[in-house]
Amino acid sequence: MEKKTEDDETESWPSRDWAELTHECLIDILARLSLVHRWRGPMLACKSWLNACKDPSLHASFDLETRFNSEAESPRWWSPEFERKVDSMLRSVVEWSDGSITRIRTRHCSNGALSFAAERCRILEVLSIKSCPNVTDVSMATIAFRCPMLKELDISYSYEISHESLALIGTNCPNLKFLKRNLMNWLDPSQHVGIVPDEYLNACPQDGDAEAAAIGKSMPHLEHLELRFSKLSAKGLISISEGCLNLKYLDLFGCANLTSRDIANASSNLKNLKEIKRPNFYIPRSVFHTERYGHWRLYDERFQTDVFRI
């Protein structure tokens, strides 16, 4: 009896043409992959796979944040070339989505791409655009007027967005409950040096109280607010505590202009507050130039003004 070899057994299996998979089968497979994996793999395989990758059912979300979080921040991300690549991806996915996108999470996009998305994604509920140096009030106004269903907004480290945008968003997006407006660590920017352009690091927004006033006046339904390293003062914090009575979570880490007393006074208005992140660090005496004014520390210790301990 003739014995089959291993090669014979291999050859006996019928050949498969993956390009002949039905569209429905392809969609089921592609739905299990992330946006980046689809972009780098199946889209390059063949025309039928590329067409399947454009199916609107796969594009209810545009999420690059997980990819950014998986890598160390690079100076390359702050280049015009990188911004153009992100813009290209965002525009493509918006077109393919047929208006079905409810979540956009990305970084380093531009005004043009964001406005393009806002015009076509009327049911957008989540928008995270951290570290976007070229996103300004222009595109944020489009978001405010075109995306009234917005529930969550993250504009951390996007310094060209002003308090005017916060007021517009708050007024036109009544369902907004989550806001993140964190700034880079301007007290110790060493972690950003060599990565973030120096001119951008030095452009840290100074109008913390104006932003706080806009939040307090126009966002009464906020439940989660992050303002890390904001330059707001006690006045700004009071504006928030009087206008955002539904707050459950408040992050004030790095807010060097606030004292413990300021926080206690303001938080007394927030009956629903469950967690608060305090500045909770010690500012070096050199920051306040207190070497020649040691008597102020004695005053602070006696009357507990907490001028030096944040």
State the pLDDT at residue 27: 67
CATH number for the domain whose boundaries are 175-310: 3.80.10
Phi and psi at residue 35, in whole multiples of 5°? -55, -45
Residue entry with tokens 């927030």: 270
Residue entry with tokens 């606030």: 258
Q: Residue-wise pLDDT tens for the chain (310 aa)? A: 445 555 554 455 455 555 566 666 676 666 666 777 776 666 666 676 777 767 777 778 899 998 898 889 999 999 999 999 999 999 999 998 888 999 999 999 999 999 999 999 999 999 999 999 999 999 999 999 999 999 999 999 999 999 999 999 999 999 999 999 999 999 889 989 999 999 999 888 889 999 999 999 999 999 999 999 999 999 999 999 999 999 999 999 999 999 999 999 999 989 999 999 999 755 544 444 444 334 434 434 433 444 333 3
Q: Where are the domains of the chain?
A: 22-58, 59-174, 175-310
State the pLDDT at residue 285: 43
Q: Who's near 84: CB < 8 A, 6+ residues apart? A: none
Distances (CA, A) of 177 to 8, 48, 253, 286: 64, 41, 20, 39
| Pick from 301, 241, 307, 300: nearest CA to 279 | 307
pLDDT tens digits along 189-218: 998 999 999 999 988 888 999 999 999 999
| Residue 183 backbone class (left: φ over 0; alpha: ψ -120 to 50; beta: rest) | beta
Strands 152-154 and 126-130: parallel
Stated pTM of the model: 0.80
Dist CA 258 CA 181 (whole Å): 17
